[in-house]
Structure 1
Amino acid sequence: MEEKETGDSLQSDSVQLDSMQADPIQPDSVPLETRSTKRKKMDRKTRNIIIYSALALVLVLGLGTAYAMHVFYSFAGNIYVDPNENPANIDPDAPKEGDPDYQPVSAAPEWDGHERINIVLFGADSRGLENTRLSRSDTMMIVSINPEDKSVRLFSILRDTYVKIANHGSNRLNAAIVFGGPRLAMSTISSFVDLPLHYYVYTDFEGFISLIDSIGGIDYEVDKKMVHIDNRDDPRYNIRLEPGLQHMDGVTALQYVRFRSDALSDYSRSDRQRQFIGAIATELKKTTNLFKLPSLLNSIAPYIQTDIPPDELFDLARLALKLDMSTMSGVMLPQQGAFTNEIISDMDVIVPNIEKVQAYVKEQLGE
């Protein structure tokens, strides 16, 4: 009996074991092969999303870059004036080449892309480019850039500086652009400071206003109350500023840089203009990106004229992005102690000591 019971028991256990083996364990009720396949599908889907997103980003940036490049070169072409084809403001009564008393006007030197580059900024109170006439320059400033160390020096030139102007005797420096256009003005300034001047940029009040507005204005500290009202002028150009930090739009910024109704007159105004140019440059680097560039360029193009060829303007724009604006500094010319105030031909003028001025410029540039 015991042996039979034992056999029956073993047989019963065997049946139960076979029954258990016939129904294998299924972890989480999902076959391993199925989970692996789903994971691979999810990984592939994630990869595709990343790849397509990256491609879309590259496409957007590529199209944006292409569009920005197109806008930039269109802008550069619109503002470019070949100095040899557009002799603006040539005085018909001035001595001509071949006349015995004719004084040749030197052409601007070429920039090799590596040496220091000097650009003259002319700012005027009215434009007149439609009839090829340029107004007397209200502001004259040399921007000197060293591509090697990315440094920038600004030289503000007082507009009443009394100098020799080729084929026109002696006069205020700001008259040179009226007598013979940018080329004569550049040649006159170059002789005054003993620096090669490669290019010029000419703009007017509206161009300045448009530039500031296009970058959304600028925060700037006004050091004192400034009030100047001229009923003969455009009401927008009347100056009413309170001291303190304020957000300036284009018109307000123009009021600030134009103010000279104080004891130092043109001297303090030149100093304010240099400092404000530095603030604008810093703001441009901070706020202008690939997608904002087209609207900025389109807004200022109608108010600018330059002899910088489009390709070189592009190179300069790339260089500008690398400049160290924190080290930018500037001075006034002629400097204190290098001029006298005189009245000549019923004009209040500043008579400079040329040798002192030229030595000072070289000192400022470390030459």
Structure 2
Amino acid sequence: MSLDLERPLRNPDLESPPLMTKRARWLVVLGFLLPGSAQLLAGNRKLGRFGLGATILLIIGVLAVVAGLLFARVATLSFFTNSIVLLALQILLIAYAVLWLVLGFNTLRLTRLPRTQRGWRVPIAMLAILLTVVPASGAAWAASTINAGRALLSGLFSGAPSVEPVDGRYNILLLGTDAGADREGMRPDSISLVSIDAKTGQSTIIGIPRELEGTPFPEDSPMRELHPNGFGVAPNTYGDWGGCEVGRCILNGLFAEVEYFYPELYPDAVSKGSSPGIEATKDAVTGATGLEVQFYVLVNMDAFESLINALGGITIDVKERLPIGGDQYGNNVEGWIEPGLQGMDGYTAQWYARSRYGSAAGDYARMERQRELQAAILAQMNPSNVLLRFQDVAAAGTELVETDIPESMLGRFVDLASKAREFTPVNVELVPPAVDPEYPDFGVIQQLVSDGVAAASPAEPAG
């Protein structure tokens, strides 16, 4: 620093209130714009150099993150969705918040307020405190938010290695269930397969009837030995008449079939973050659709209420009047969900997805409503809304979802999710009249799926 600049700041004329006032204003502003500079010019140079060095490193880090998002987006997102990295970032934020407080209040001391003009003392003090406390509070809030995200990542996602897409797509089985955490007797209420283009993020959502019968298993599935012609189809291990342990051999009964009677068929399921019943269901959906299922996401419909409330509610265009509560005869109905664009809290939205009566299309309409609910939740999970309510959303997320998606793939999926906002998902509903769940033609099913995937795939370049 030149002597001319440093002299009035480090060795001011203490008997000149106007000069001391100007000096105080400069120190407060400099300390805010470049933490450590006030100490370097007018106070403890060692503290100033440390603060300034930390600030410069922070600026370099922010610029590096911006450059990473621009030029190496997936790698950067993968780096910052690692729980260990988030822990380190949380510690650094807390440390910098403490340093900011130390520098800020030290700057206030350096202003020598009693020597400034009387009318400026309170404004300078208030400005210094404001510029010290608000950024430090913001850093503390950010550290708390990162901690919530880290808890979500470590509690929800598996530590398995990343996998490559199959034929250019990631295929994720989405199961919706009302069962509790122990999943005793779980039978998925809704079954969907989400097929995501690995380049564009555009998705095909395939709605699969839970009552689909005779689902075939791939050749490498352990279930194929028991049911070589499809789940429950004769002849099988039960004899010439076919059958299974759970009575009616439909797709949503497969979980209980394997979980309680044949868990040994999938000995590695639990260590991979899954379960034997879910792995068997993945095999069945693979066989039925012709798409290899790589991951699953189990959504506890009972926990949707807390997530929707955490997001501040959702909006759905209701097609028909639906009861809240009640039975098939209309008894004990608590209220009604009216047609039209409706803002819903968690309780109402949960009944919108669950309501079994009042719809002419019955269970198939219920399947469609559940997918509408999932889409509405995704629409609410925009960056600003999630960031504002992140801790509540993260807490609800751990109750809502189970998955075997590896933590190492989160960056890739976050990138694809941001790209997917440019597209409308292609929906394929495997329901009557196109598909008869009781007597399905799996050739027809696979053709419908293939057409849906083709509609959500980028066109091949000519030539």
Q: 1:122, CA displacement in angstroms?
A: 0.9
Q: 1:353, CA displacement in angstroms?
A: 1.3
Asked if residue 250 in structure 1 is aligned to residue 303 in structure 2, the reply is no
Q: 2:360 aligns with which of 252, 260, 263?
A: 263
Q: 1:313, CA displacement in angstroms?
A: 3.8
Q: 1:312, CA displacement in angstroms?
A: 2.5
Amino acid of the residue matched to residue 215 of structure 1? L
Corresponding position of 2:268: none
Please give the TM-score of this superposition, normalised by the length of structure 2. Answer: 0.55
Distance, in Å, in 2 between the alignment partners of 1:117 and 1:193 is 14
Corresponding position of 1:146: 197
Q: 1:52, CA displacement in angstroms?
A: 4.3
Corresponding position of 2:175: 122
Change (3 A) 1:210 1:38: closer
Amino acid of the residue matched to residue 122 of structure 1? L
Q: 1:296, CA displacement in angstroms?
A: 0.9
Amino acid of the residue matched to residue 184 of structure 2? R
Larger relative helix fraction: 2
Question: After the TM superposition, which residues 276-287 of structure 1 pair with which residues of structure 2 at under 5 Å, given as runs?
Answer: 276-285=373-382, 287=384
Question: After the TM superposition, which residues 223-234 of structure 1 pair with which residues of structure 2 at under 5 Å, given as runs?
Answer: 223-227=319-323, 229-230=325-326
Residues 130-160 of structure 1: CA deviation (Å, up to 9, x unaligned): 3x63501011111222231121221111111
Distance, in Å, in 1 between the alignment partners of 2:135 and 2:194 is 36
Distance, in Å, in 2 between the alignment partners of 1:177 and 1:317 is 29
Q: Secondary structure at the match of 2:374?
A: helix
Q: 1:124, CA displacement in angstroms?
A: 1.3
Contact 1:193 1:357 in 2 (8 A): yes
Q: 1:111 aligns with which of 150, 163, 168?
A: 163
Q: Structure 2: where are the runs of 5+ without partners?
A: 1-17, 37-54, 56-99, 101-131, 217-222, 233-248, 259-276, 458-463
Distance, in Å, in 1 between the alignment partners of 2:174 and 2:252 is 12
Corresponding position of 1:78: 155
Q: 1:174, CA displacement in angstroms?
A: 0.8
Distance, in Å, in 2 between the alignment partners of 1:110 and 1:359 is 29
Asked if residue 202 in structure 1 is aligned to residue 298 in structure 2, the reply is yes
Amino acid of the residue matched to residue 348 of structure 2? T
Change (3 A) 1:333 1:231: closer
Corresponding position of 1:333: 430
Question: After the TM superposition, which residues 1-367 of structure 1 pair with which residues of structure 2 at under 5 Å, given as runs?
Answer: 45-52=28-35, 64-80=141-157, 111-112=163-164, 115-127=168-180, 129-130=181-182, 133=184, 135-164=186-215, 166=223, 167=226, 169-170=231-232, 171-180=249-258, 181-227=277-323, 229-230=325-326, 240-261=336-357, 262-285=359-382, 287-313=384-410, 315-324=412-421, 326-334=423-431, 336-340=432-436, 349-366=437-454
Larger relative strand fraction: 1
Change (3 A) 1:309 1:355: same
Amino acid of the residue matched to residue 156 of structure 2? I
Amino acid of the residue matched to residue 176 of structure 1? L
Amino acid of the residue matched to residue 445 of structure 2? V
Amino acid of the residue matched to residue 449 of structure 2? V
Change (3 A) 1:74 1:43: closer
Change (3 A) 1:48 1:237: farther
Q: Provide the alpha-carbon RMSD of the alignment.
A: 3.7
Please give the TM-score of this superposition, normalised by the length of structure 1. Answer: 0.68
Amino acid of the residue matched to residue 137 of structure 1? P
Q: 1:361, CA displacement in angstroms?
A: 1.1
Residues 228-272 of structure 1: CA deviation (Å, up to 9, x unaligned): 64469xx99977312232221112111112235322223322333
Q: Structure 1: where are the runs of 5+ without partners?
A: 1-34, 84-108, 341-348
Distance, in Å, in 2 between the alignment partners of 1:192 and 1:113 is 19
Amino acid of the residue matched to residue 163 of structure 2? W
